[in-house]
């Protein structure tokens, strides 16, 4: 009942969930039931693209939770996304089995290529889906916990915190580029064949992944909404606006920050895990600090501190990116740069803030 109350009080969120529901009914119908020569047919490529946008939206949602409600400008959120992606990639890699180029039943191709004799210990268990699914959440969660525990306890805030989150993702990127790490080095993990026994290239699998992404986004949204409406959420907003005062009022600032941060990291990990089977590759480039910063602009354009704004921003910017990089690639960086500048200067509340801004004027 509490849930219903929360959802009812969040009108834009309700709309968003409704749209998501409609899309997840219409898209499979248009792809599977409408014949290919019809004008209404949706190609599998488009379905995958939409699925990718949804995972990005989930990532943006997780970043908004940390930035919009906790006031931490994280420049390393893509690290959690990539770690979740790698966990899923390892599962998919083990599923290839003997179908790899070298045909080794256990070792992935790149290990055979590097002349490794046996599987490194951290690859154990990834042949089981449940284990991989667990790791998708556990690994980013643990990293966020350790990182957050250290930094929040020593009261590293503001710009310093931003910069060391960037250092974290940068260090991870350099580490994953190394062949010795055992994650495929430069090339990352790719050439996936199937997931849970279903062929990854089949239309139905693609649709299923799309639906899973939509479901994950819906669940992530509802959970985030519950958190921000709860006392925990209110306390984190208090911390965002006046950290010292909240501390003096007796709130355990470190713990509140830590749990929201860890939850957000887990959500980002899930987003990464859903991203990898749809895109078909995960490599160290996903850790690059540039990705983390770009993701912030999705949130900023949509409107931070609203949750639904992040989702809208992620989908809009990525649609624009797909369009521009295909139509006029040299313009894209100008456009993105201009977006960064204009949004921070003139749209501090993002697109969803436009309405309230107009209301304030009149």
Partner 1 sequence: MSPFSIAALVRKPISLLLFLCMISVPAPQVLAEEIPDNDLLDDAWKTLPSKNYNNKAKALETIARQNPPQALPVMKAMLEGQLYYSKHDKALYFLQETGDNYTFSPVFSGEQISQENRRGFKKVKVNNRLRSTIRQLLAVMQLKHKDADIRLAAVQELLKKPEISASHLIKKAVESETDSRVTTAMQTLLAVIQLEKGDETEQRSAIKTLSQSLNSSAMNALRDYQAPTETLKNAAQSAIKKIDDKRDLYAKAETIFFGLSLGSVLALSAIGLAITFGVMGVINMAHGELMMIGAYTTYVVQLLMPNNIGASILVAIPAAFIVAGLVGIAIERSVIRHLYGRPLETLLATFGVSLVLQQTVRTIFSPLNRSVETPQWMSGAWQINEVLALTWNRLYIILFCLAVFAALIMVMKKTTLGLQVRAVSQNRNMARAMGVRSTWVDALTFGLGSGIAGLAGVALSLLTNVGPNLGQAYIIDSFMVVVFGGVGNLWGTLVAGMSLGVINKLLEPWAGAVLAKILVLIFIILFIQKRPKGLFPQRGRAAED
- The residue ranges that bind partner 1 (CB under 8 A) are 73, 147, 150-151, 153-160, 162-164, 166-168, 170-171, 174-175, 177-178, 242-244, 289-290, 293, 296-297, 300, 330, 333-334, 336-341, 343-345, 348
27/299 with CB nearer partner 1? 299
238/336 with CB nearer partner 1? 336
Question: At closest approach, how far in Å is the CB of 244 from partner 1?
Answer: 5
Question: At closest approach, how far in Å is the CB of 294 from partner 1?
Answer: 9
Q: Which two tokens stand for residue 142?
A: 């643990």
Question: At closest approach, how far in Å is the CB of 345 from partner 1?
Answer: 6
Which residues, 6 or more positions from 303, have their beta carbon under 8 angstroms from its beta carbon?
A: 309, 310, 312, 313, 349, 350, 351, 352, 353
Measure the CA–CA gap between 183 and 56, rounded to whole angstroms. Answer: 23
Let me know: does 287 contact 169? Beta carbons within 8 Å: yes
Question: At closest approach, how far in Å is the CB of 146 from partner 1?
Answer: 11
Residue with token string 């983390």: 292
Question: At closest approach, how far in Å is the CB of 15 from partner 1?
Answer: 28
Measure the CA–CA gap between 48 and 36, rounded to whole angstroms. Answer: 16
Measure the CA–CA gap between 239 and 230, rounded to whole angstroms. Answer: 14
4/326 with CB nearer partner 1? 326
164/351 with CB nearer partner 1? 164
165/205 with CB nearer partner 1? 165
User: In Å, what is the CA distance from 339 to each residue of 253, 278, 304, 362?
Assistant: 34, 28, 15, 26
In three state form, how does the secondary structure of 68-135 look?
HHHCCCCCCHHHHHHHHHHHHHHHHHHHHHHHCCCCCCCCCHHHHHCCCCCCCHHHCCCCCHHHHHHH
Question: At closest approach, how far in Å is the CB of 241 from partner 1?
Answer: 11
Question: At closest approach, how far in Å is the CB of 302 from partner 1?
Answer: 14
155/201 with CB nearer partner 1? 155
Measure the CA–CA gap between 221 and 322, rounded to whole angstroms. Answer: 25
8/252 with CB nearer partner 1? 252
Q: What angle do CA 249, 255, 259 make, to 5 degrees?
A: 130
């Amino acid at each position: 009942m509490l849930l219903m109350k929360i959802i009812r009080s969040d009108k834009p969120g309700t709309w968003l969930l409704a749209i998501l529901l409609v899309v997840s009914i219409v898209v499979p119908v248009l792809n599977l039931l409408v014949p290919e020569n019809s004008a209404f047919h949706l190609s599998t490529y488009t379905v995958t693209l939409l699925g990718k946008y949804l995972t990005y939206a989930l990532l943006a949602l997780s970043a908004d939770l940390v930035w919009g409600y906790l006031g931490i400008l994280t420049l390393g959120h893509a690290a959690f996304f990539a770690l979740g992606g790698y966990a899923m990639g390892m599962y998919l890699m083990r599923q290839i089995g003997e179908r790899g180029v070298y045909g080794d039943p256990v070792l992935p191709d790149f290990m055979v290529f590097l002349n490794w004799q046996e599987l490194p210990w951290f690859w154990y268990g990834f042949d089981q889906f449940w284990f991989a699914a667990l790791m998708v959440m556990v690994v980013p969660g643990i990293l966020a916990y350790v990182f957050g525990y250290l930094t929040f306890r020593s009261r590293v805030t503001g710009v310093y915190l931003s910069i060391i989150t960037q250092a974290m993702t940068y260090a991870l990127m350099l580490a994953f580029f190394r062949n010795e790490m055992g994650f495929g080095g430069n090339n990352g993990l790719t050439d996936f064949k199937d997931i849970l026994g279903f062929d990854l290239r089949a239309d139905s699998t693609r649709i299923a992944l799309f639906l899973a992404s939509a479901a994950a986004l819906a669940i992530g949204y509802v959970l985030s909404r519950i958190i921000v409406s709860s006392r925990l959420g209110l306390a984190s907003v208090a911390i965002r606006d006046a950290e010292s005062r909240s501390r003096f009022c007796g709130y355990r600032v470190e713990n509140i920050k830590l749990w929201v941060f860890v939850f957000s990291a887990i959500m980002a990990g899930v987003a990464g895990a859903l991203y990898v089977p749809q895109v078909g590759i995960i490599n160290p480039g996903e850790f690059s600090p540039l990705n983390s910063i770009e993701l912030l602009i999705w949130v900023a354009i949509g409107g931070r501190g609203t949750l639904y704004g992040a989702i809208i921003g992620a989908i809009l910017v990525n649609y624009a990116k797909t369009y521009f990089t295909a139509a006029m690639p040299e313009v894209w960086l100008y456009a993105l740069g201009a977006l960064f500048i204009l949004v921070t200067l003139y749209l501090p509340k993002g697109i969803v803030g436009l309405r309230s801004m107009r209301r304030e004027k009149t």
